[in-house]
A and B are shown apart, each in its own frame.
Chain A
């Protein structure tokens, strides 16, 4: 029976998925390494070495993307990890309104990013927008949320958190729900209070959930394009340009080689940060 075991399965079953995946994902990714070193017009190319990368690293309108992308990813990821945990813990209590709040928090994740971006752009209008009109009623002069180069990136990051915290929350809820009741009973016998419950049981035992939230939202943050495009298009100036939006701008401008170099850079940034983070978090998990 054992000899027939592995024969029962055939790698032919991988063919449909494998071909589509290779042709439309792996092959373009590999080719991007080559085309990033060319001047390229889709039909014609000329090898120019590392010039595209040099341009990307030296030109101010392009290398601003690194700083912005890292800031954006760290801010959105950090807020989702913390707010998601608080919401998750809160929504695991036995309050009557838990179902309602959970739905309200989760629903934005299903909406179109573009629609959310446009709606919030309206609400962040400096003079007419809902945010500043409300602040004005309270006697505060609100900032120009998307027009001030200092805070525009953070404003977009806040909208990202508004839209995405629901996923973090449900991941935490799933993690907290899977903690066996024995722990709480043990704590009760030892006379622990609800702070002990949070600090000594929920926090350490929901670590796998937290790791997922960190990885998912960090990678998501690094790759963000649509929300930035819907809200600021990289402006004012280049203050909210992320690597992904620069790739699009170069593509629109017809600089295909430069755009592909941006893609390779994004690929390197994401891999250089995400793979080690993934390995580190998983190693910790084994220790638990």
Chain B
């Protein structure tokens, strides 16, 4: 399984260059475009509008769950209420989520780049085994209770290092694959020159190769950030306890069997969607190219 970054063509392949291009756009084309925009707004826009509009309403108004324009705006009150719920659980959750994400990214970059580098360069009888292990990691679902048992035995269950190491282990195969794929594009002559100059193995990697891997590293950063930040399942299993809440779990603060405070729930959804939104605005292209480069051979 060799990954290869896709060469993006400069031209648009769906438009055949011909004299037809100079003709003014026909009415039917405008109609198609109009319909497309309308459908996009209908299918993808309305859910966002629904969440946002209900986040600014007060409790009674949002209880009817409709799309009507709010009679009055309560977004500041709602944000305050969300921050105060459960003794400020969301602050704790922000801290936990962000720490888990940052630590996972850091470890994945170091470990993944070292492994990807050696696996791409060194070919031996063991290579097929390593390739199989990477593929297995991409396909096999993690064994839940045995992992808890391992964490418990070494005293890391319900701890930050524990959840971080699990996240790292589960995201390593894809990360190594990305680094391995990119290493194939770096010429070996660079290393030969460094060796002649008397560079040691670790210096060669950390001072010469690692900086060249920057494009993949930034891909790993954004992809891991999205995946780990949004992860619900692993913290649920491996990081339980009220002190250990992550942001995804704060969503359950406002639903109970008897009463659900919709406006606060929607405000909470909005608040925790802000980091992905920021990532999306600044790294849109990086995220898309990362997601596609790992999957197309």
Q: Tell me the A residues contacting B by CB distance below 8 Å.
A: 1, 4, 6, 8-11, 13-14, 16-18, 20-21, 23-29, 31-32, 35, 40, 42, 89-90, 92-97, 100-101, 103-108, 110-116, 118-120, 122-123, 125, 128-130, 133, 162, 167, 170-171, 173-181, 184-185, 187-188, 197, 202, 208-209, 212-213, 216, 219, 222-223, 225-226, 229-230, 244, 247-248, 251, 256, 259-260, 263-264, 266-267, 270-271, 274-275, 278, 285
Q: With A25-B169, A104-B45, A105-B44 known to touch, is A267 a contact of B143 (CB < 8 Å)?
A: yes
Contact A177–B8 (Cβ < 8 Å): yes
| Complex: chain B residue closest to A247, CB-CB | B144
| Complex: chain A residue closest to B294, CB-CB | A212
B296 interfacial by beta-carbon distance below 8 Å? yes
Instruction: For residue A62, give the distance in angstroms from its CB to the closest CB of chain B.
Output: 16
Q: Which residue of the partner chain, among A128, A185, A188, contacts B65 with CB atoms under 8 Å?
A: A128
- Interface residue total, chain B, C-beta cutoff 8 A: 108
Dominant SS at the A interface?
helix
Q: Which of B11-19, B71-79, B83-91, B212-220 contacts A (4 or more CB under 8 A)?
A: B11-19
Residues of chain A contacted by B135 (CB below 8 angstroms): 278
Contact B269–A119 (Cβ < 8 Å): yes
B118 interfacial by beta-carbon distance below 8 Å? yes
Contact B65–A8 (Cβ < 8 Å): no
Please measure, in the bound complex, the distance between the C-alpha atom of A111 and the C-alpha atom of B197, giving whole angstroms. 49
Residues of chain A contacted by B13 (CB below 8 angstroms): 92, 176-177, 179, 181, 184
Q: With A92-B12, A93-B15, A181-B13 known to touch, is A100 a contact of B139 (CB < 8 Å)?
A: no
Q: Which residue of the partner chain, among A16, A112, A167, A208, contacts B272 with CB atoms under 8 Å?
A: A112
B168 interfacial by beta-carbon distance below 8 Å? yes
The 5 sampled A-B contact pairs (Cβ below 8 Å) are A105-B44, A118-B265, A122-B50, A244-B141, A260-B143
Q: Tell me the B residues contacting A by CB distance below 8 Å.
A: 6-9, 11-18, 29, 32-33, 36-37, 40-41, 43-47, 50-51, 64-67, 107, 110-112, 114-115, 117-119, 121-124, 126, 130, 133, 135, 137-152, 165-166, 168-170, 172-173, 176, 191-192, 195, 201, 204-205, 226, 229-230, 232-233, 236-237, 247-248, 251, 255, 262, 265-266, 269, 272-273, 276-277, 279-280, 284, 287-289, 291-293, 295-297
Tell me which of B66, B146, B262, B279 has the highest count of chain A C-beta atoms within 10 A of its own C-beta: B146
How many residue pairs bridge A and B at CB < 8 Å? 293
Contact B226–A110 (Cβ < 8 Å): yes
Q: Which residue of the partner chain, among B9, B32, B37, B251, contacts A115 with CB atoms under 8 Å?
A: B251
